[in-house]
Structures are given as structure tokens and as C-alpha cells.
Amino acid sequence: MVQSGMKVGLGAGRTAARGIAALAERVKDEGLDIECVAASDDAEDLARSLGLRITDFALLEELDILIDGADAVDRHMQVMKGSRGAMTRERIICWASKRTVFMVTENKVAESQIGAGTPLPIAVMAFGLVSTRNALRHVGINGVIRQDIDGRLFITDNGNLVLDASLRGDENLAQLATELNDIPGVIDHGLFIDEADIILVEKEDGSIDRLERAGL
């Protein structure tokens, strides 16, 4: 999917890191000439350490392809992201990409739809936090402020807080995404409802299932 001359978006997280490593191997073995934009500081550091060329995204209008992981996906091509807190940058890269590819292991494919058993991350500003949380409660969301393993507040690369919210699993996710987008204190959230073009599912036996958006 990645060819010489492409501008490639790199996602954040463990699965995305595997994709970055595999891409770096192709660049080394095949001599691919590509430019990369990373969704998180950690992903950028990894890509640089593996020899991938990183470009300032502020200078690019669009990307050819995004390669990313996900916390959960479903057969409706809905994706949950944000366990690493990078969903804002990931969404920007996603929308700038001509094609988006998400990679997951089989255990991350939801039986019905994303949301059941996987916390929904919501990036919020610290300014007006109490008011924002009150607005979230009005749309049925009660989020817990994320902390790191040392008990300190988790801060995203953009300087925001993250609330992790539990969902029932039967919500109208498109409607919920719209409601979240309408709350001023919400910077972004982990619901990627219609951004995925291709989902690659790695099964236990090592084979790959490929899900594609209709009409791709």
C-alpha cells in the first residue's frame, strides 16, 4: 500500500509502532523514498530512531495514506482510539489522508459495536473542567480523569486532560460523536465513526482479515 514518493501518516500506540517498524524495514530493504508525519511525540521518536524521514506537517496540505492502530473496531468500520491520548492529532492526520488503514488484533474486534468494554477517551481543556464535565453528564457521559502510573494527571502532547468514560455498548455512536463535538470544552474524543477505509485484523493463526468501507 505504501509506495515511493508517498507522504505517510503514522499513528500512535503499540500496534501502530509495529507498523512503523515494518515500514522502516521496507524503506531499508526496498529503498522506498517516503516522507512521514507522526501523530505523537513517541511515534515520531520511534520513526526517527528507525531511520524514517519525518516532515513538518504544518507544511503539507494532504497525505497519501495513514497507517494506525486502534483500541477497538467493529464490522461497521467504526473505530475507537485514544488510549495513548493522541486522538486529536490522529484525527487531523486521518482527515488529511487520501486513504486510512487501521491495524488491530482479533481480540479488538467488537461483537456488535465499539464501546462495550472499551473506555471512550475524551480530550478536554483544564479551563472550565467542571462545567465541561457537567455538559458531558447531560449527554450521558461520566468520565474519570486519566492519571499515569505514578498517579499524576495524564497530559496529552497538546497539553489537554483526558476523561475516560464507560459506554453501555448500544448507543447511537454517530449521534454521541456529534453531541461531544458540540461541547466547547471538549477538544476531541476517541470515536472515529466514518474515517476508516481499510481495517486489517490479525488473527491468532497469523492470517489477516481485511475489512473495507463499501465503495472503496
89-123 as b/e, with b when 16 or more CB fall inside 10 Å? bbbebbebbeebbbbbeeebbbeebbbbebbbbbb
Q: What is the pLDDT of residue 216?
A: 67
Total residues found in the chain within this entry: 216
> Phi and psi (nearest 5°) for 68?
-145, 165
List the chain pLDDT tens, one digit each, 216 residues: 899 999 999 998 888 999 999 999 999 999 999 999 999 999 999 999 999 999 999 999 999 999 999 999 999 999 999 998 999 999 999 999 999 999 999 999 998 899 888 899 999 999 999 999 999 999 999 999 999 888 999 999 999 999 999 998 889 999 999 999 999 999 999 999 999 999 999 999 989 999 999 876
Cell of 85: 491520548
Neighbours of 134 (CB within 10 A): 12
Neighbours of 171 (CB within 10 A): 19
Give a yes or no: residue 71 inside a domain.
yes
CATH for 54: 3.40.50.1360
Give a yes or no: residue 1 inside a domain.
no
Residues 67 and 139 in one domain: no
Range of the domain at 80: 7-110+193-204
- Residues marked as catalytic: 90
